[in-house]
A and B are shown apart, each in its own frame.
Chain A
Amino acid sequence: MSNGMVLRMNASNLATGDLAAFRDAYAQMMAISDNRGWIFFSGIHGQPQEKCWHHYRIGSSNQTEPVNLFLPWHRAYLLLLENNFRDLNGAAALPWWDWTSDLAHQEGIPAAFTVPTDPSGNPNPLLQGPTIASPSGSPTTSRNPDDPGNLPTVDQVASVLGLSSYTDFSDQLEDVHDALHGWVGGDMGIIASAAYDPIFYTHHCMIDRLWYIWQLQNGVNNIPASYLDLPLAPFPLKVQDVLNIQSLGYEYANAAVALNPNAAAAANVGVNT
């Protein structure tokens, strides 16, 4: 986008140039060994840093009530990753994987993430990533996807989007998210290693997108007040900083289309602007 905003799009409908930029950014990250590199970023989530937030726990010893920062934490994580790889390729943007789509229910993981080579014949960096935490002991990630027919459905997502309480919505969306990790299997199947698989970020982009669609219906600031001032370690952000994606510099293609009365089905439309 010409105003500096990033437009995130459907991974199954990326234009050739957009896909090439995304692949290039990942390939460059995977070749870097310092704190701009794949191993460093992927290691924030599970092994070795274990900074990811899932489920409820106290934010600090000053709290008595546990909180669940699953959605804001992962929004911050994707944001930092996206900014990092845009340093390497300024045209790159994170796409989402719509696992409710008819296409996904036929092919499973998007083709861009399963072909062995890119159009130039180079190894596809979206197929697998280097890892230091594979349960198999391999230096690269692998998957064990289930039947595409077992992916979440439009109706399932619609029922989650229909929940008006933030904690309800977050809990149920997190469960859909958990199911996806199990569906992909392999390194994606456990927290320790999941973020080393390139599909991780595209899966989480869909999660973040669904939160954004829910916010459009229920309010951008619709989150327990007790969450707002909590830090999203290790990122230089608090929960209140990540509620408005426009203020973070990105948008989702066709989000307005996704708000029609049959919101989830509309979100299935993978036409990018």
Chain B
Amino acid sequence: MAKRSTSPKQGPATAKPSTPSKPSRPAAKCFTSPKISMAPIAPGFKRADIEFHAIDHAGASYEGRVFLNNPKATEKTPRTPAQGYAGSFHIFGHGGCWGDPGHCDILPRRPYDPRPGHTLTPGRKTLIATEAVRRALKQGSEITVTVVPVVRDAPARVDAENVLRFERLKIVTYS
């Protein structure tokens, strides 16, 4: 059975700018959650996931490096347990809007409309982060989640700086 500890809806409003290692690479803003209470989580869970809901994939492709309890993490932060690195998710982006005005508007489907949902319907990314969550809980009952987007290639048409967009994140455990 899954037990959930959820954060309030979050966008990139609390993002901090990251420093690219090479001037030619686009810099992307990071995100750090408020402290998330893990009190509802029962100990002894077998698996812990960090879920990112309604995540945008319309822009550049990127690696989302996830750190726990390390709000100062940047692209240069080593991806090690000591730094709170929980793993990465990856976004294969559409590369911006390629059509005429309205092409990328995500319109709801009318009744009897046989078409699938719009291809830009925001997605969901699930990071299996069991060991990282266990380590973070040893530090205290509250966790912050930081996402550092790393963009390697970005077409000129996309806003690589604000590539990371999602509506909410959840930490879900399974006993």
Any chain A CB within 8 A of the CB of B113? yes
Give the docked Cα–Cα distance between A190 and B57 (Å). 10
Instruction: Determine the residue in chain B with the shortest Cβ distance to A58.
Output: B117
Instruction: Determine the residue in chain A with the shortest Cβ distance to B119.
Output: A50
User: Of B34-42, B66-74, B90-98, which stretch is located at the interface?
Assistant: B90-98
Instruction: Determine the residue in chain B with the shortest Cβ distance to A184.
Output: B153
Can you list, as one digit per residue, whether each of A179-205 has a CB less than 8 Å from chain B (1) or not (0)?
101100110011111100000000000
Any chain B CB within 8 A of the CB of A172? yes
Min Cβ gap B88→A in Å is: 8
- Contact between chains at B92 and A66 (CB < 8 Å): no
Any chain A CB within 8 A of the CB of B168? no
Give the docked Cα–Cα distance between A78 and B12 (Å). 37
- Contact between chains at A178 and B90 (CB < 8 Å): yes
Task: Give residues 50-79 of A contacting B (CB, 8 Å).
Answer: 50, 52-61, 66
A177 surroundings in chain B (CB, below 8 A): 92
Give the docked Cα–Cα distance between A60 and B115 (Å). 5
Any chain B CB within 8 A of the CB of A135? yes
- How many residues does chain B have at the interface if contact means C-beta atoms less than 8 Å apart? 38
Given contacts A58-B109, A144-B152, A175 and B119 within 8 Å (CB-CB): no
Any chain A CB within 8 A of the CB of B8? no
The one of B92, B113, B122 that contacts A182, using a Cβ cutoff of 8 Å = B92
Any chain A CB within 8 A of the CB of B126? yes
- Contact between chains at B111 and A61 (CB < 8 Å): yes
- Contact between chains at A56 and B123 (CB < 8 Å): yes
Any chain A CB within 8 A of the CB of B63? yes
B16 surroundings in chain A (CB, below 8 A): none
The one of A66, A182, A185, A192 that contacts B90, using a Cβ cutoff of 8 Å = A182
B94 surroundings in chain A (CB, below 8 A): 46, 190-192
- Contact between chains at A191 and B93 (CB < 8 Å): yes
Given contacts A61-B112, A144-B153, A191-B95, A55 and B63 within 8 Å (CB-CB): no
Task: Give residues 123-162 of B contacting A (CB, 8 Å).
Answer: 123-126, 128, 152-153, 155-157
Give the docked Cα–Cα distance between A46 and B95 (Å). 10
Min Cβ gap A179→B in Å is: 4
The one of B111, B126, B155 that contacts A190, using a Cβ cutoff of 8 Å = B155
A61 surroundings in chain B (CB, below 8 A): 109-115
The one of A54, A189, A233 that contacts B152, using a Cβ cutoff of 8 Å = A189
Min Cβ gap A183→B in Å is: 8
Give the docked Cα–Cα distance between A55 and B93 (Å). 11
Any chain B CB within 8 A of the CB of A146? yes
Any chain A CB within 8 A of the CB of B89? yes
The one of A47, A52, A178, A179 that contacts B98, using a Cβ cutoff of 8 Å = A47
The one of B123, B153, B156 that contacts A185, using a Cβ cutoff of 8 Å = B153
Give the docked Cα–Cα distance between A60 and B94 (Å). 22
- Ranked nearest first, the 6 interchain pairs of A and B with the lowest CB-CB distance are A190-B95, A55-B123, A57-B117, A135-B155, A178-B90, A178-B92
